[in-house]
Amino acid sequence: MKTCIWCNKSTPHISFNKKAHIVPQSMGGTEICENVCDSCNHFFGANHDGVPPIELVFKETFNITRARLLGKSNIGKNKALSRFKSVYFNVDFVKNRIDVKPSFKLQTGFQSILCHQFKRSIYKIFLEENERVNGNSRDDKYDFIREFARFNIGDYPVLYYQSKVPFLLSSKDEPQKPNFYFQKKFVYLDDEHGFFDTYYLGHVFGFPIIRNWELVFDNYISQSLKQKERFYKRPISIKYLTDIDLTLSFMNA
């Protein structure tokens, strides 16, 4: 019997025929979470009442950084990225300007919706990766992540650490083969501290892994800053995707 980490339903009532990539394949994801049912897998890639799919928002966001890192010479037919195209954004890589396309700007609250979907994508990846590595994602303590990422209940923060220095990639071919890093790079990241940090394409994000995160927030921030202050600025809780330095403007300095 197999049980889905998102809907808690089990076989034979649900099916597990499709491979559920933790990070989308087109974004370099190779790892699979075995315990995601077909219906939940489909959910993350699908449009619901005109709200952008969680997976698409993740791809759109990081494709900007990826295109920036790859540079013009690596974008084209048979290259690392076949083309740079965005559904939601106009991107000016020379001026480091990102703007939501005018047609979307007209929709009330669109920027906030995009950011909300992006935050859900980070929690979605966390719970699936945690299941793959630790096999305990069905634990009650993660119910808030299920509620938020899968059922859109509640709102939880994603903190963004902007780099201070033009030093960021963990390997030279990272833009070609990006990898979401879940290793515990920082010693204070354990269950007791209630927060987790992850690294992707030069960006560092922190997010809570306990529901009552406000209780541990100050402690997390002070410990986190102590470790990161050389390379990262004080984090911001993102409200818009444009809060993230997606074009890596500091690289031009």
Tokens linked to 49: 């009442």
Taking the C-alpha atoms of residue 44 and residue 121, their distance in angstroms, rounded to an integer, is 8
Task: In whole angstroms, give the CA distance from residue 130 to residue 146.
Answer: 13
Which residue from 6, 195, 200, 207 is in contact with Zn ion, where contact means CB under 5 A? 6
Degrees (nearest 5) of the Cα angle 183, 187, 191? 80
CB of 1 to Zn ion, least distance (A): 14
Q: Is 149 in the site for Zn ion (CB under 5 A)?
A: no
State the nearest-atom distance from the C-beta of 25 to Zn ion, in Å. Answer: 20
Looking at beta carbons only, is 119 or 146 nearer to Zn ion?
A: 146
Which of 2, 7, 32, 216 forms a contact with Zn ion (CB under 5 A)? 7
Name the residue nearer to Zn ion (CB basis): 43 or 89. Answer: 43
Distances (CA, A) of 170 to 83, 152, 179: 24, 33, 10
Q: Which is nearer to Zn ion, 14 or 81 (CB)?
A: 14
- The conformational region for residue 96 under phi > 0 = left, psi -120 to 50 = alpha, else beta, is left
Q: Which stretch binds Zn ion (CB under 5 A): 2-10, 46-54, 95-103, 193-201?
A: 2-10
H or E element in which residue 237 lies: strand 236-237
CB of 110 to Zn ion, least distance (A): 28
Using CB under 5 A, which residues numbered 9 to 68 contact Zn ion? 37, 40
Q: Candidates 6-14, 140-148, 186-194, 230-238: pick the segment binding Zn ion (CB under 5 A).
A: 6-14
Q: Answer yes or no whether residue 225 interacts with Zn ion by CB under 5 A.
A: no
5 in contact with Zn ion (CB under 5 A): no
H or E element, residue 226: helix 217-228
Tokens describing residue 155: 């709102």
CB of 15 to Zn ion, least distance (A): 10
Write out the E strands in 96-229: 97-100, 159-161, 195-200, 203-208
**Smallest separation (angstroms) from Zn ion to the CB of 21:** 15
For residues 7 and 113, which CB has a smaller minimum distance to Zn ion in the complex? 7
Nearer to Zn ion, 4 or 189 (CB): 4
Give the binding-site size for Zn ion (rule: CB under 5 A): 5
CB of 13 vs Zn ion, minimal distance in Å: 10
> Per-residue DSSP letters for 42-94?
HHHHS-BTTBPPHHHHHHHHHHHHHHHHH-GGGBSTTSSBS----SSEEEETT
Residue 4 CB, nearest distance to Zn ion (Å)? 3
Which residues are near Zn ion by CB under 5 A?
4, 6-7, 37, 40
